[in-house]
Structure 1
Amino acid sequence: MGFTDTRFNVNLSILFTELPLLERPAAAAAAGFTAVELWWPWVDAAVPEQSELDALRDALNDAGTQLVGLNFYAGQLPGPDRGALSVPGVESERFRANVPVAVEFGRSLGCVTFNALYGNRVEGVAAAEQDALALENLTLAARAVGEVGGTLLIEALNAPESPACPIVSAPKAIEVVDAVNAATGLDNARFLMDLYHLSMNGEDLEEVIDRCTAKTAHVQIADNPGRGAPGTGALDLAGLLGRLRKNGYQGWVGLEYKPGDAPSAQSFAWLPAELRPAR
């Protein structure tokens, strides 16, 4: 079946990072992609200067690239403090301050899909207290996203690379999705199905797809091992994406892989040029 009929977008926080942030949208467009996603670009600033927001907005618009997914502030990514919403104190406050800024930035670009990373466990605070704070902050975020008709994503990371994160399986992520929807009554929380992370956790990807497609609003891919482009590892990504389509998934598939030592533009040989633009 190949990759036909899949809508691919490029994650500009892991691809084209050899370029300054403001040059990446044009580089993605030159490589044939008209849709992109981003981790929160300002790792040290939950609320950056308006001039920085404006400059990135202009770069995306000037390149003709559509922003289809945006992470809320989560600290340094990747890094030991990834995720902020379940961490009491300053990090939680930064997350809450970021929510309206990120939602408005996304809305101004037509993006209404936002990913909230759960965050790592911290020592000295009971897990139940951290989970209660996370649910409180996720509820706040879901309501803010709901005001623009958007979707809040909950992602499962992988235990080998993020051992302190409590959300490292599809069932656990779905549990959080259901808890947020029950708390808000909005039914706008959904699963972000990252096939690389789930494969690193040793999950049966076909079974996850069959069980979770109905609650999935975004998909991300990278091959395993190595988190490289499709074809550099052992995953049958074409087959898995075909299974997702058969199960009714019609949303975006984010390319969130490492390009290797060559420039990012050279990492797309696996995908024919005619399949890259949004359709």
Structure 2
Amino acid sequence: MKWGCCGDVERIASIAASGYDYIESPVRALEVANPKGSADNLVEQVSKTGLSVEAFNVFIPAPLRIVGPDVDENALNHHIRTTVDRSNDLGTEIIVLGSGGSRQIPDEWSASTARHQFLAFCELAADAVSSAGITIAIEPLAESVCNFILTVAEGRELAKASGRDEISFLADLYHMHMNNDPVEGLKDIAGEISHVHLPVPNIPGQIDHEPEFDHAGYLRALKHGGYEGRISIEDNGKRFSDFDREAGLVLQYLKEIWASV
């Protein structure tokens, strides 16, 4: 079991000091649209802290479309392959495919056509990562963020439909909560899940926000289902008020929940 924290390059030293095993950064940190040396700051910080970027998120920027009438396969292929190339020396094993702006199905666009396009993208991405030891994890998103792939079951079904071992799916408590996707069902499929996101929890006397997420129920379902992969803390809702002070507290609190469930 490894515990990580999502964040930009500026937070890597604090994440390392707080005791996390890895950082999960957005792909924009790789400066994919710019010359290769543009990502040197990230490489230097990884070298300095010893903290690997074992996962990346926000894979595809919104202007690059995965579905709809404006898909540019050549641009997507360049973006994917540059991302993989620049992550090679960073210890990356997971790339999260959320990218709600890119996969939002436009009005009057066929859902079946969008599904076909999404699976074609998965094929493109799988080809690019196949020799790099990287898994693409489909992330179900809240309906307020995107109208396509809203539940863990949908993410799982599409991963299976891709027919590629490089394509899997993740579970994110924040998005599950927002979509009323029940956490109990995770127990039966926990062994198939390739990655996990957790929102920042409330900690009595330390952090107090709405809504209240069922961290214990979520972690119980994963643990009892045999999940042994990574868990990344992701600050959806901007619940950290003092990251340097609270990041370590959150890690310890979640480890205690994991041990007790």
User: Deviation of residue 7 (structure 1)?
Assistant: 2.4
Q: C-alpha offsets along residues 204-233 of structure 1, whole Å, 9 cap, x if unaligned?
A: 1112x12321220000011589xxx98744
| Higher RCO by CA contacts (8 Å cutoff, separation 6 or greater) | 1
Q: C-alpha offsets along residues 215-264 of structure 1, whole Å, 9 cap, x if unaligned?
A: 20000011589xxx987443231342233122111111000024536221
Alignment of 1:262 with 2:241, yes or no, is: yes
CA distance in 2 between counterparts of 1:200 and 1:83 reads: 26
**One-letter amino acid of the counterpart of residue 136, structure 1:** A
8 A Cα contact 2:201 2:250, kept in partner: no
The answer for unaligned runs of 5 or more in structure 1 is 1-5, 14-20, 76-80
Mapping for residues 63-212 of structure 1, pairs under 5 Å: 63-71=49-57, 73-75=59-61, 81=62, 84-89=65-70, 93-117=74-98, 119-123=103-107, 125-159=109-143, 161-162=144-145, 164-181=146-163, 186-207=164-185, 209-212=186-189
8 A Cα contact 2:189 2:225, kept in partner: no
Report the TM-score when normalising by structure 1. 0.77
**One-letter amino acid of the counterpart of residue 126, structure 1:** S
CA distance in 1 between counterparts of 2:80 and 2:231 reads: 24
- How many residues align? The count is 247
User: Deviation of residue 174 (structure 1)?
Assistant: 1.2
Provide the residue aligned with 1:235 in structure 2: 213
Q: Which 4+ stretches in 1 moved above 6 angstroms? A: none
**One-letter amino acid of the counterpart of residue 149, structure 1:** G
**One-letter amino acid of the counterpart of residue 141, structure 1:** A
Provide the residue aligned with 2:231 in structure 1: 253
Report the TM-score when normalising by structure 2. 0.82
**One-letter amino acid of the counterpart of residue 168, structure 2:** R
8 A Cα contact 2:190 2:227, kept in partner: yes
Change (3 A) 1:25 1:91: farther
SS in 1 for 2:54: strand
Provide the residue aligned with 1:271 in structure 2: 251
**One-letter amino acid of the counterpart of residue 11, structure 1:** C
**One-letter amino acid of the counterpart of residue 221, structure 1:** L
Alignment of 1:27 with 2:14, yes or no, is: yes
Once structures 1 and 2 are overlaid, which stretch shifts more, 112-121 or 250-259? Answer: 112-121
Alignment of 1:220 with 2:201, yes or no, is: no
CA distance in 1 between counterparts of 2:98 and 2:22 reads: 22
Task: Give me the CA root mean square deviation.
Answer: 3.0
Percent identity over the alignment is: 21
